[in-house]
Structure 1
Amino acid sequence: MEAQELWCEVEKTTEDNGGRLATVTCHGRLVAGTSEAIKATVKPLITDGGRIIVDVGDLQYIDSMGLGALVGLKVSAIGAGYCTLEFKNLSDRLQALLRITNLTDLFKS
C-alpha cells in the first residue's frame, strides 16, 4: 500500500497595507490519514489573524475527508472574524466536487 503523505510549506510575510499574509503551499495527498496535518498547520494561522492563502495546486489527490478539512478550516476562519482564508490553484476535479456539493460559494474569496 502506498504511503499517504502531505506536507505544507508556510511563508509568512506582510502585505503592502501592513497586514499579515501567510501562504500555505500543500503537497501530496489530502486524505483521511493526512487531513489532521493541514488542520495543524492552518489553525494557528487563523488564530494569528490576517490573510491566509492555501495553495492546493500541488495536491495529487483529495478525498472526502480532505475536502471536509478544507471546509472546516474555511468555516473556522469565517467564525474567527479577524482573518480571511482563500484557496488558490483549485484543480478542475476539486472545482467540480465543490459544484456537486454546493460548496462553490464558500470557497470564493
Structure 2
Amino acid sequence: MAKKSASELADELAGLGEEIRQRATEEARKYVALAIEEMFLGGPKVNRKQFDNRSPEDCIFEFLEEQASLQSEPTLKAALNRLDESGISDDFRAGILFACRLFADPDFDY
C-alpha cells in the first residue's frame, strides 16, 4: 500500500468535511421543518404539552402577532387581519405544510 502525500490526505479530509457539512445541513433542515409542522399543524401523535397545551391555531396566532416585521408590512398586516376575522383556513395550513416539506427536502435549493 502506497503512502499518500500530504496534499492527497488534505483533499480527502476536505471531502469528508464537505460530506459532514452536507449531512448536518440536511439533518438540521429535516428537524426544523418537523418542529414547525408539529407546532403549527399538530397531528394525532403530537404531545401538546411541549407547546404549553396550546392548540396549533393558538400557536399560529401567537407567532404572527409577535412578529414585528409582519405588523409593518401592509400586505401581511391585511392578511393577518383576515385571519383574525375568519380563523386559520385549510389553505393557510396547506401553505405551512408546503413550506415545511420544501425546507426539509435536501434537493430543494432555496
TM range (shorter): under 0.3
Query: TM-score normalized by structure 1?
Result: 0.23
Q: Greater relative contact order (Cα 8 A, min sep 6): structure 1 or 2?
A: 2
Query: TM-score normalized by structure 2?
Result: 0.23
Q: Going by fraction, where is strand more abundant, 1 or 2?
A: 1
Structure ID, larger Rg: 2
